[in-house]
């Protein structure tokens, strides 16, 4: 009799995941800003013992142009071991890759190959007809299906944005997740406290608010997102909204505690319209309701006007622009990327209410253009943008492009293309790992996913 065993990259607890083998590949979404060439998945060799370490080992072009790859995820992860809706025999095999501008969703097979193979395309008409959404953004694997957030509505409607659900194995669009969305209209990221049946979502803006760059009138008018929404995960109904204050524009990436017994998490806020600072907030459940508290504030940095793009010259300063955060699987280290100032910060968040800054690294940045130590004579543009942490917490990966129109707005001389790796314990750059420039064949690298999973891929049902 054949005995079925779960995918070896699934772990019942974050403690088990932290003891997982090191990844040997990193998958990177890369896009063509001109939309005249296909976007691609670049595969980077992350095995230090490999002769190809730190280079592009695999490459797969998309079949169309104009997708603008952004965020993507695995078809299945450790949540498949949860008792509420177990699917222990699915594989972490397929990458689910949305095009943010095209609204297509691509399914890529990674098994037994370096360069992923396209096996299915979900066309925008199907997403619109079955779920009522467009502009798919973030992918998370749940115990009962694939969840994909979307910024826009269907048939030319700006909103509301929300979440579509896909089947784990056939990748058919099952429909819209929300049964009662309450006051929620803007969408961006989402995550959950899976044991407590709570989903959390954040806000950015509708497609017209983001696709041509930051709209000054909307920003100063405090029209971008500034709320968190809490939902009953099982009933698919809205429970509560928490307003961070409309001066705190664009709460984006959500990072809940990996420990499934804890009900807290962190969200990064891009900017304050009052002083251009950025911030990180903690959400938590207390006194019978969800609350949020600012626990990290990062000020803007003064800069000469000739070092600034036109959009910032009237302010005479560089905003940090916190555009991504990452929480280690042991819930002890939080990494905060400041895409504007070119800084990556590391915090001890063992006490989530009182983060302690442990270190800071500079690379790129609007005014600084700090070089990577592997090439100290090469000024870099862009800054730490997407940040991903390995399951064991020892390695941190960075890419430098945010979103095409925003890249052009804040880095009008070109954002370039680079990827970096940091040793988390020493908090230093790995000088052997610096794919950049022509390595990405003229495309801009954005999100990173690690072979076998990473700190932002999985949710666990056991402590």
pLDDT tens digits for range 203-252: 999 999 999 999 999 999 999 999 999 999 999 999 999 999 999 999 99
The tally of CA atoms less than 13 A away on the side-chain side of residue 283 is: 31
pLDDT digits over 100-126, tens only? Answer: 999 999 999 999 999 999 999 999 999
Do the Cβ atoms of 19 and 392 come closer than 8 Å? yes
Give the confidence band of 400 by pLDDT, cuts at 50, 70, 90: very high
Tell me, rounded to whole angstroms, the distance of Cα 373 from its chain centroid.
26
Which pLDDT score is estimated for 144? 84
252's tokens: 């984006």
Give the confidence band of 3 by pLDDT, cuts at 50, 70, 90: low
| DSSP characters over 40-53 | EEEEEE--TTSTTT
Which pLDDT score is estimated for 33? 97
Give the confidence band of 84 by pLDDT, cuts at 50, 70, 90: confident
Which pLDDT score is estimated for 14? 98
Which pLDDT score is estimated for 2? 52
Alpha-carbon span 256 to 331, nearest angstrom: 9
Which pLDDT score is estimated for 263? 98
Selection from 15, 19, 145 nearest residue 77 by Cα: 145
Sign for the CA dihedral angle at 73, 79, 84, 85 comes to positive
Which pLDDT score is estimated for 4? 74
Which pLDDT score is estimated for 371? 98
Residue 352 φ then ψ, to 5°: -65, -20
Which pLDDT score is estimated for 1? 45
Selection from 231, 212, 215 nearest residue 223 by Cα: 215
H or E element, residue 163: strand 162-166
pLDDT digits over 86-98, tens only? Answer: 777 889 999 999 9
All residues at 6 or more sequence positions from 191 whose CB lies less than 8 Å from its CB, including other chains: 140, 199, 200, 254, 255, 256, 265, 459
- Answer yes or no: is pLDDT of 78 > 90: yes
Selection from 268, 264, 305, 309 nearest residue 406 by Cα: 309
Give the sheet arrangement for strand 40-45, strand by strand.
56-61, 40-45, 25-31, 444-450
In the predicted model, what is the mean pLDDT of residues 394-398? 98
Mean pLDDT taken over the chain: 97
Which pLDDT score is estimated for 233? 97
Q: Is 245 exposed, middle or buried (0-12, 13-18, 19+ CB in 10 A)?
A: middle
SS in 3 state form for 59-81? EEECCCCCCCECCCEECCCHHHH
Selection from 164, 132, 162, 131 nearest residue 145 by Cα: 164
93's tokens: 């095999």
Do the Cβ atoms of 28 and 419 come closer than 8 Å? yes
Q: Is 377 exposed, middle or buried (0-12, 13-18, 19+ CB in 10 A)?
A: exposed
Q: Is 81 exposed, middle or buried (0-12, 13-18, 19+ CB in 10 A)?
A: buried
Selection from 107, 104, 110, 112 nearest residue 134 by Cα: 104
Selection from 126, 131, 130, 74 nearest residue 104 by Cα: 126
Which pLDDT score is estimated for 155? 85
Give the sheet arrangement for strand 419-423, strand by strand.
387-389, 395-399, 419-423, 428-429
Selection from 9, 12, 71, 459 nearest residue 257 by Cα: 459
- Answer yes or no: is pLDDT of 168 > 90: no
Q: Compute the chain's Rg from CA coordinates.
A: 20
In the predicted model, what is the mean pLDDT of residues 306-330? 97
Alpha-carbon span 121 to 127, nearest angstrom: 11
- Answer yes or no: is pLDDT of 178 > 50: yes
Do the Cβ atoms of 37 and 442 come closer than 8 Å? yes
Q: Residue 359 gets which letter from DSSP?
A: E
H or E element, residue 124: helix 124-131
For the chain, the straight-line distance linking the first and the last C-alpha, in angstroms and rounded, comes to: 33
């Amino acid at each position: 009799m054949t005995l079925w065993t779960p995918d070896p990259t699934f772990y019942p607890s974050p403690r088990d995941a932290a003891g997982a083998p090191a990844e040997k590949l990193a998958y990177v979404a890369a896009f063509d800003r001109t939309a005249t060439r296909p976007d691609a998945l670049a595969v980077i060799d992350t095995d230090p013992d490999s002769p190809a370490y730190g280079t592009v080992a695999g490459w797969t072009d998309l079949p169309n142009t104009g997708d603008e790859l952004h965020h993507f995820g695995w078809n299945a992860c450790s949540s498949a071991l949860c008792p509420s809706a177990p699917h222990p025999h699915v594989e972490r095999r397929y990458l689910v890759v949305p095009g943010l501008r095209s609204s297509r969703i691509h399914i890529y097979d990674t098994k037994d190959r370096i360069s992923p193979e396209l096996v299915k395309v979900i066309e925008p008409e199907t997403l619109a007809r079955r779920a009522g959404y467009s502009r798919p953004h973030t992918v998370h694997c749940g115990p009962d299906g694939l969840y994909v957030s979307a910024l826009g509505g269907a048939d030319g409607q700006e909103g509301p944005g929300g979440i579509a659900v896909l089947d784990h194995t056939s990748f058919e669009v099952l429909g819209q997740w929300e049964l009662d969305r309450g006051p929620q209209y803007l969408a961006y990221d989402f995550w959950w406290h899976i044991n407590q049946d709570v989903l959390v979502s954040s806000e950015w803006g509708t497609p017209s608010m983001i696709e041509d760059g930051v709209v000054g009138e909307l920003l100063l008018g405090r029209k971008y997102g500034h709320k968190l929404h809490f939902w009953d995960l099982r009933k698919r109904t809205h429970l509560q909204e928490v307003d961070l204050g409309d001066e705190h524009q664009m709460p984006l990436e959500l990072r809940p505690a990996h420990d499934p017994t804890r009900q807290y998490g962190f969200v990064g806020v891009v900017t304050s319209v009052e002083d251009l600072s950025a911030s990180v907030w903690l959400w938590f459940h207390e006194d019978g309701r969800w609350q949020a508290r600012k626990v990290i504030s990062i000020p803007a940095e003064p800069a000469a006007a000739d070092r600034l793009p036109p959009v910032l010259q009237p302010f005479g300063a560089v905003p940090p622009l916190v555009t991504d955060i990452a929480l280690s699987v042991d819930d002890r280290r939080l990494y905060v990327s400041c895409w504007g100032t070119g800084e990556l910060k590391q915090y001890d968040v063992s006490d989530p209410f009182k983060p302690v800054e442990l270190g800071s690294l500079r690379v790129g940045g609007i005014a600084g253009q700090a070089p990577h130590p592997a090439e100290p004579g090469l000024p870099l543009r862009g800054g730490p943008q997407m940040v991903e942490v390995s399951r064991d917490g020892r390695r941190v990966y960075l890419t430098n492009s945010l979103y095409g129109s925003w890249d052009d707005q804040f880095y009008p001389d070109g954002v370039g293309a680079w990827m970096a790796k940091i040793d988390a314990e020493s908090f230093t750059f790995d000088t052997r790992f610096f794919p950049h420039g022509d390595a990405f064949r003229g495309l801009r690298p954005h999100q990173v996913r690690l072979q076998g999973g990473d700190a932002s891929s999985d949710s666990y049902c056991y402590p």
